[in-house]
Amino acid sequence: MQNTLKKYFALFALPGLLAFTMAFVVPFIMGIVLSFTQFTTVTNASWVGLENYIRAFQTPDFLNSLWFTVKFVIVSVLTINILSFFLSLLLTRSIPGTNGFRTIFFLPNLIGGIVLGYIWQMILNGVLQPYGVTLTSNPTYGFWGLVILMTWQMTGYMMVIYVAGIQNIPRELLEAAEVDGAGRWQTIKNIIIPAIMPSVTICLFLTVTNGFKLFDQNLALTAGAPSKQTEMLALNIYNTFYGRAGWFGVGQAKAVLFFILVAAIALIQLQITRKREVEQ
């Protein structure tokens, strides 16, 4: 078995490795290199050192959108995870039609971000119409619009992961808790949550990274209006890239900073939640 694996390793892994290298590793390295250059196209670049990074911080909108993104991530991670956790609790009890509900809650996740953005833009503008305002009248509307949209979209997906986690909890544990006289809340706090920590790790990771790299929904819902006050990081990078002649390098520098930030936060989060996972 070991030998066969070794013998055929190259054959089976090579296509995947090649594709990964071409589609991911090479562009990634090129991207990092380009962030130190001034360029029009990727094959035509001149070295400028750290200048792009300095310019990235000189424009105030980069830090503004970073702050907006952080606020959005905190709020949306909380709403999505709390809501999906309670939904999964509900849908693991023996209620008739559970599967149907699970499917329905999962469905929004199958719709593309741009489409969702436009649909919710229409819905929310329709709600705001009687008050004579629109989503972009005030950055707060845009913020909560985004939170509502993302919660609606992501809750079903996270719910499925939590459902899987809850179903894996051994029945004896729950029965033992019941025999010992644990109440509903105590069961959740002391049995269910510790037992599904692996699911929590995954869900937090997915919602945090998704929140940081959110682009389509942001572009379609508000496109940063009014005056870039609802512009998130990914959209800011995109706009830097195409807003001015000769700013490609700065956009690239922001993208590298963005990568470091998201990677660091995701790694820290994984470390913290992994520690709390218990062996069953």
Partner 1 sequence: MKKTLGIIMALMLVTGLVFAGGDKEASRSQEIYFLNFKPEIASVYDEVSKAYEAETGVRLKVVTAASGTYEQTLTSEIAKNDPPVIFQINGPVGLKNWIAYTADLKDTALYGILSDKSLAVTSGSGVYGIPYVVEGYGIIYNDAILRKYFALPGKAVSISSATEIKDFATLKAVVEDIQKNKAALGIGGAFASTSFAPGNDWRWQTHLPNQPLFYEFDAAKGNGSALEAGLAAKEVAFSYGSAFKNLFDLYLNNSITAPGLLANKSVDDSMAEFALGQVAFVQNGNWGAGQILGVQGNTVKNEDIKFLPLYFGVPGESQYGLNIGTENYFAINKTVSAAKQQAAIDFLTWLFSSETGKGFVIGKLGFIAPFNTFGPNEQPSDPLAKEIVRWLNAPGVTSVPWIFQAFPSNEFKTVFGSALLEYTQGSKTWAQVEDIFRSTWKAESLY
Binding site for partner 1 (CB under 8 A): 40-44, 125, 129, 132-138, 219, 222-228, 239, 242-248
Give me the least distance between CB of 26 and partner 1, in Å please. 14
DSSP calls for 211-230: HHT--HHHHHHTTT-STTTT
Phi, psi of 111 (to 5 degrees): -95, 140
Element holding 38 (H helix, E strand): strand 37-41
User: Cβ closer to partner 1: 97 or 132?
Assistant: 132
Query: Token digits for 217?
Result: 């929904």
Phi, psi of 41 (to 5 degrees): -125, 165
Give me the least distance between CB of 23 and partner 1, in Å please. 14
User: Cβ closer to partner 1: 98 or 137?
Assistant: 137
User: Cβ closer to partner 1: 45 or 66?
Assistant: 45
User: Cβ closer to partner 1: 2 or 46?
Assistant: 46
Contact 194, 166 (CB under 8 A): no
Length of the chain (residues):
280
Contact 156, 106 (CB under 8 A): yes
User: Cβ closer to partner 1: 134 or 269?
Assistant: 134
Give me the least distance between CB of 129 and partner 1, in Å please. 7
Name the DSSP letter for residue 276.
T
Contact 28, 35 (CB under 8 A): no
Give me the least distance between CB of 2 and partner 1, in Å please. 24
Give me the least distance between CB of 14 and partner 1, in Å please. 14
